[in-house]
Amino acid sequence: MTILGIETSCDETAAAIVSNDNKRIQILSNIISSSQDLHIKYGGILPETAAREQQKMIIPVIQEALLQSKCNPEDIDAIAVTAGPGLIGSLLVGVETAKTLSLLWRKPLIPVNHLLAHFYANWVLDTPTFPVIGLLVSGGHTDIILMKDHDNYDYLGGTRDDAAGECFDKCARLLGLPSGGPNLARLAQKGNPQAFNLPRPMWNSKDYDFSFSGLKTAVANIITHIDELQKPDLAASIEQAIIDVLIKKTTTAALDNNIEHVMLAGGVASNQRLRESVTRSFIGRVFTPEPLLCTDNAVTTATYALFHNHPVDPLILQANPNLSLA
């Protein structure tokens, strides 16, 4: 099968063509256009600006995906599109374009939950072993699931306030960095992760839930008392506090449910220290996606559809900003 994936849940406009002919998954093209630069000076994403850029970019991005893959519309077997969750204006651009192309080209339309699609970054180059504990750490979500099969998972827990990526982003801003997680991680490389004693929220709670807003408040209180030279130490301590909590909850979920294998997903899964720490913490296999496939892209959207070929009527599909894993 050859699938055109379309993803517009946040500030990216992405299209990709993925095929599983010859038994392995092949990325024929992977195009991503981001409006991130337009939002930087505001310290967060402006939904209307994101959606307006996506309206401009969606057709050129799909055209480029077809061109690079050397595919014509006739070569596409189905169209997969992020149906939610995400920003409603952004989702609408992708969903309405996919519906139109599905009718025009007479191709089946497969709706995709963006959160599950993040996990499918693991299936592009590898094949996770079921049952597996999945930890999703993105800009908007932090969730733990127990996946027994492609169509069967249990939701175990998630964040009660900020997501792990959001905590990275907000702390980066407090440190005066131009943008989020990757910059904080870079600064942290030069610091001592034990330098500051930061809280590990919900460490002793018996559930698999997280809370990161207290950590951000602790950093806001410290930042006023330190000088420039201590910033790498603070960045390293923030990174370590987030990683410690993520590992503690994931380990507990794995032990309680007798599961050996773990997979990471979402933008924060590209964090090198997190990847190394999780890999050291488990005896079973730890699956970590290719860093470029951790953040938002349409390859994972199309790959999800390869394993969930459940088309819907294009006339009735609606974007759902509140889709969740729970």
Residues of this chain that bind ligand KG4 (CB under 6 A): 10, 138-140, 165, 168-169, 180-182, 185, 266-268, 270-271, 295-296
Angle at 124 between CA 122 and CA 128, to 5 degrees: 40
Residue 297 interacts with which of ligand KG4, Zn ion, none, CB < 5 to 8 Å by class = none
How far, in Å, CA of 171 to CA of 318, rounded?
35
Residues 6+ apart with CB under 8 A from 21: 1, 2
Q: Does 7 bind Zn ion (CB under 5 A)?
A: no
Closest CB 86 distance from ligand KG4, rounded Å: 8
Residue 168 interacts with which of ligand KG4, Zn ion, none, CB < 5 to 8 Å by class = ligand KG4
**Residue 154 is labelled as binding a ligand:** no
Structure-token pair, residue 297: 């892209």
How far, in Å, CA of 309 to CA of 88, rounded?
24
Q: Are 29 and 16 within 8 A, CB to CB? A: yes
The sheet carrying 261-265 orders its strands as 152-158, 142-149, 132-137, 261-265, 286-287
Size of the site for Zn ion (CB under 5 A): 2
Among 296, 300, 305, 325, binds Zn ion (CB under 5 A): 296
Write down the residue that tokens 């910059």 correspond to. Answer: 183
Residue 268 interacts with which of Zn ion, ligand KG4, none, CB < 5 to 8 Å by class = ligand KG4
**Residue 125 is labelled as binding a ligand:** no
Nearer to Zn ion, 95 or 235 (CB): 95
How far, in Å, CA of 75 to CA of 78, rounded?
9
Within residues 128-157, the interface with Zn ion by CB under 5 A covers 138
Closest CB 229 distance from Zn ion, rounded Å: 35
Nearer to ligand KG4, 96 or 162 (CB): 162
DSSP state letter for 3: E
Residue 111 interacts with which of Zn ion, ligand KG4, none, CB < 5 to 8 Å by class = none
- Name the binding residues for substrate: 136-140, 169, 271
Residues near Zn ion (CB under 5 A)? 138, 296
